[in-house]
Amino acid sequence: MFGIDFSKFPDVFARILLPAINETLYMSLISTFLAFVIGLIPAVLLVLSDKDGLKPNAKLYFTLDVLINTLRSFPFIILIIVLFPVTKMIVGTSIGTTAAIVPLTIGAAPFVARLIESALKEVDKGIIEAAKSFGSSNLQIIFRVMFVEALPGIISAFTLTLIVNIGFSAMAGAVGGGGLGAVAINYGYQRFRPDIMLYTVVILIIMVQIFQILGNFFYKITKK
């Protein structure tokens, strides 16, 4: 098929693909977790300061809105290059798997903030009003009521962000980020190895499908 010798797959997988899979998972999972931690803060502030929020503040909402939209507008490949100095300052180098976590996190955090904001705003207003009537503070309403009610949506947001970061991590391989993207470029494209190019594409598709299935599973559990 396409002149590819599949008998060499076990050796290629053990030597090249398996380490790249581990690097991709390392970059994607850690950056997604960090993006959620960072994105949580502006998401909560957006929900609080919205005109229909618990503590409306038009100036704060406008400032955060513009900042998040600006960061989201950056093409990821350009963001990686722009953040080279920041990445080097944080991890000591701008190249490598660990270095790629910095732009992946910063690139995903605004995306996460919007997703969490949307999930929190979908919570039934009647539940929020009931919590207010019992004397709950704004933070209690946010974290004990809204987050609990919005948990299925937040899980979907985490799943979507993880899948996006898997794609971005492959793009990071173009500028020395490591992982499956680097393998596809260094071996598949530059060394004219269509077999490795095919393997990386199939592995990425399988990886995305697995995380989507897991995300759907946990979504259904929390929805019940």
Contact 169, 28 (CB under 8 A): yes
Residue 1 has pLDDT above 50, yes or no: no
> Could you tell me what percent of the chain has a pLDDT over 90?
48
Give residues with Cβ within 8 angstroms of 107, minimum separation 6.
Answer: 71, 74, 76, 79, 168
Predicted confidence (pLDDT) per residue in 55-101, tens digit: 899 999 999 999 999 988 888 888 888 888 998 899 888 888 888 99
pLDDT at residue number 116: 94
Mean pLDDT within 132-151: 88
Predicted confidence (pLDDT) per residue in 17-41, tens digit: 999 999 999 999 999 999 999 999 9
Residue 3 has pLDDT above 60, yes or no: no
Mean pLDDT within 128-152: 88
pLDDT at residue number 4: 67
pLDDT at residue number 5: 65
> pTM for this one?
0.89
pLDDT at residue number 28: 94
Of the ranges 42-51, 67-76, 188-197, 206-215, which one carries the lowest mean pLDDT score? Answer: 188-197
What tokens appear for 67 in the block? 């900042």
Query: Which ranges of the chain does DSSP label H, i.e. alpha helix?
Result: 9-12, 18-49, 58-72, 76-82, 84-91, 97-121, 125-133, 138-140, 147-149, 151-172, 179-183, 194-223
Q: What is the mean pLDDT of the chain?
A: 88
Q: Please provide the CATH number assigned to the domain covering 8-223.
A: 1.10.3720.10
